[in-house]
Structure 1
Amino acid sequence: MNDEGEEEFGFSRDYFLAREQAASSRKKSARKLSEMDLIDEQVLRAAASEIVPKNEKGIAALMRSYKNFYTQWLFELRCGLGLLMYGFGSKKVLLEDFASTSLTDYDVVVINGFLPAVNIKQVMVTIAELVHDKHKGKRRASTGNGQKTKQQFNTQTMDDLFTFLNEEEEAMDGRDSFVCVVIHNIDGPALRDSESQQYLARMACCSNVCIVASIDHVNAPLLWDKKMVHTQFNWCWHHVPTFAPYNAEGVYFPLILASGTAAQCARTATIVLQSLTPNAQSVFRVLADYLLANEKEEGMPVSALYAKCRERFLVSSQLTLNSHLTEFRDHALVKTRKHSDGQDCLYIPLPSDALHKLLSDLG
């Protein structure tokens, strides 16, 4: 073996000897994450709020630099493009500043996609009402009562609302009368399902609606197919890192070092339920009361829930109940498991104390 080969062999031997010694010297800890003493979430959040952010001047200067793009962004909206902002840091303040300074001549609807629940139907109703108000005079001449038409939006289906917006297309004065929908975190947990994204894509197709949205999840582009990206949303991507903390967006996400208390579970479920209709809340209460009164049972049979809701005139058919249950399941408020006799039973994945607190918060 020549000198070069011996030197290379020596390096290899030393490397593996060092690795072996390091492995033998390391001590493996027997501690588990479940054994750690976790503190209350409120205490942890209060302590986190007192942390002084770094480089505030640099972040403020970066935010001011984006103001130079406001004119370009507005031009792109008027050309029929949708604005999609991405980059590290919360973009909530940036989008709100753009809307408050550059979109003052247009109606703006804000969707907080980071919330645990978002009512897309109510957003569509709001947009329809804004479009209706813009042409109230014309509609009053044709219907004789514009207010009656406005009140009927709440009872219309999503397809009816989209039909209304498309019919108003010709009456709009170009893109000078559009309604701008600002969506904070279009990739948020409440909007990640296929149905919500399809509704938002159809909304973006309406010529009198423009979309300005932000994304933060690394897999957010997987929410859309080629047609949605290039034809429906028609995204114009903008890299706008702000390095701002996710203060508003992080409120509804549990902290890894915080203990999950009953109050925390109840508060999260309450926020979701308050976004639903009063009728849906009443159906949920019937199920919760039954589970609390029969804690030893595996759950409440769907047939039993339907019978009780029918007695209280909360539902008129099994189809109505199924729509409520689908909404509950989508928000992880209710789950289904097989009873010992084979039938499906409903249960609420919350401890008893959290369920009591939830009912109390709902009033």
Structure 2
Amino acid sequence: MYGFGSKKQLLEDFASTTLTDFTVIVINGYLPSINLKQVIATIAEMLWDQAKSKRKCQPGTRSQLSQPFPSQSFDDIISFLKRQTSSHFTALRDAESQQCLAQVSCCPQVRVVASTDHVNAPLLWDKKTVHTQYRWSWYHVPTFAPYKVECVFYLLILASGGHAQTTKTALVVLQSLTPNAQSVFRVLAEYQLANEKEEGMPVSSLYTKCRERFLVSSQVTLNSHLTEFKDHDLVKIRKHSDGQDCLRIPLVSDALEKLLQELG
């Protein structure tokens, strides 16, 4: 999808209304912090979990699928994906990332829905990439919507040199996320406000509370929300004194309370 205006909401609406029978992975390619290997590994982990679920339905079967995904090697992950018989993400800009993502798009279980806004974006692809790997279908969809969320990161650099987000900036980002993601953030924020002297909320505790409230169905789902929070600097992760990974929102209590009020 190309044309003037942000297509973030358009793509997310398409995913939430049309792709409800499929597993959807959303990658915000406009974020400089996006890690290509993380993207590929997330897709592999999703398919690995699906394969485990199918195997559990077959009595008397045992296999290595009962273990976590066995490798972080890019070649191993691509090989696994190609052996599978639907995931979606937006594209990253540099040529090396595009070559890797083009390989992933050839995997049987993967489909790509993406948007481009840079006038020179097509220069990243040669004929082979366009016609035999991605095999794009082009749609001109000028939404004329402001690039509100996409520009947040760059505005932060200009305004504050990369320091903790303001309440206003955090609100813009949160409003662009799904209601479930907002609810997960609220669980973390409420815990932080009630336990100001603690180092942060253990990831395991957040998972338990979110499961109890039916906000997430698995650790994978929670991890996808946390990745989004971390990419936008909404949440910081650190080691607790007892070795646990803990989460903390980089806002003072007054600002955090105001954020929750404005979020509604």
TM norm. shorter chain > 0.5: yes
Contact kept, 8 Å, 2:2 with 2:116, in 1: the verdict is: yes
User: Are residue 106 (structure 1) and residue 7 (structure 2) matched?
Assistant: no
Aligned-residue offset at 1:266? 4.7
Contact kept, 8 Å, 2:43 with 2:87, in 1: the verdict is: no
Q: Which residue of 2 aligns with 1:182?
A: 89
Q: Pairwise mapping of residues 111-260 of structure 1 onto structure 2 (< 5 A)?
A: 111-136=27-52, 139=55, 143-148=62-67, 150-152=68-70, 155-169=71-85, 179-183=86-90, 186=91, 191-254=92-155, 260=158
AA of the residue aligned to 1:132: W
Runs of 4+ residues deviating >3 angstroms: 137-145, 265-268
> Relative to total residues, which structure has the larger strand share, 1 or 2?
1
Contact kept, 8 Å, 2:5 with 2:147, in 1: the verdict is: yes
Aligned-residue offset at 1:265? 3.9
C-alpha offsets along residues 216-245 of structure 1, whole Å, 9 cap, x if unaligned?
001110010000011100000000010101
Contact kept, 8 Å, 1:182 with 1:211, in 2: the verdict is: yes
Structure of higher CA gyration radius: 1
C-alpha offsets along residues 162-198 of structure 1, whole Å, 9 cap, x if unaligned?
10111223xxxxxxxxx22131xx2xxxx32221111
Contact kept, 8 Å, 2:84 with 2:107, in 1: the verdict is: no
User: Are residue 93 (structure 1) and residue 23 (structure 2) matched?
Assistant: no
Aligned length: 163
Structure 1 residues 180 and 138: CA distance shift in structure 2, 3 A: closer
Structure 1 residues 260 and 243: CA distance shift in structure 2, 3 A: closer
Distance in 1 separating the partners of 2:158 and 2:99: 34
Secondary structure of the structure 2 residue equivalent to 1:129: helix
Structure 1 residues 151 and 166: CA distance shift in structure 2, 3 A: closer
Distance in 2 separating the partners of 1:161 and 1:240: 34
Distance in 2 separating the partners of 1:94 and 1:226: 28
Question: Percent sequence identity over matched residues?
Answer: 53
Contact kept, 8 Å, 1:125 with 1:161, in 2: the verdict is: yes
Distance in 2 separating the partners of 1:215 and 1:251: 18
Distance in 1 separating the partners of 2:33 and 2:115: 17
Distance in 2 separating the partners of 1:250 and 1:260: 11
Contact kept, 8 Å, 2:6 with 2:146, in 1: the verdict is: yes
The normalised TM-score by structure 1 is: 0.42
Distance in 2 separating the partners of 1:164 and 1:213: 23
C-alpha offsets along residues 255-303 of structure 1, whole Å, 9 cap, x if unaligned?
9xxx946x424569xxxxxxxxxxxxxxxxxxxxxxxxxxxxxxxxxxx
AA of the residue aligned to 1:147: S
Structure 1 residues 230 and 267: CA distance shift in structure 2, 3 A: farther
Aligned-residue offset at 1:137? 5.1
AA of the residue aligned to 1:115: L
> Relative to total residues, which structure has the larger helix share, 1 or 2?
1
Question: What is the alpha-carbon root mean square deviation over aligned residues?
Answer: 2.4
Contact kept, 8 Å, 1:194 with 1:223, in 2: the verdict is: yes
Q: Which residue of 2 aligns with 1:281?
A: none
Distance in 2 separating the partners of 1:226 and 1:249: 29
Contact kept, 8 Å, 1:95 with 1:182, in 2: the verdict is: no
Distance in 1 separating the partners of 2:54 and 2:5: 45
Contact kept, 8 Å, 2:29 with 2:93, in 1: the verdict is: no
Secondary structure of the structure 1 residue equivalent to 2:24: strand
C-alpha offsets along residues 123-182 of structure 1, whole Å, 9 cap, x if unaligned?
22221122122222565666535231x242xx421110010111223xxxxxxxxx2213
Contact kept, 8 Å, 1:108 with 1:180, in 2: the verdict is: yes
Distance in 1 separating the partners of 2:114 and 2:53: 32
Secondary structure of the structure 2 residue equivalent to 1:239: coil
Distance in 2 separating the partners of 1:195 and 1:254: 27
Structure 1 residues 89 and 162: CA distance shift in structure 2, 3 A: same
- Could you tell me which runs of 5 or more consecutive residues in structure 2 were left unpaired when the two chains were aligned: 166-249, 251-264
Q: Which residue of 2 aligns with 1:355?
A: none
Distance in 1 separating the partners of 2:162 and 2:44: 35
Structure 1 residues 267 and 254: CA distance shift in structure 2, 3 A: same
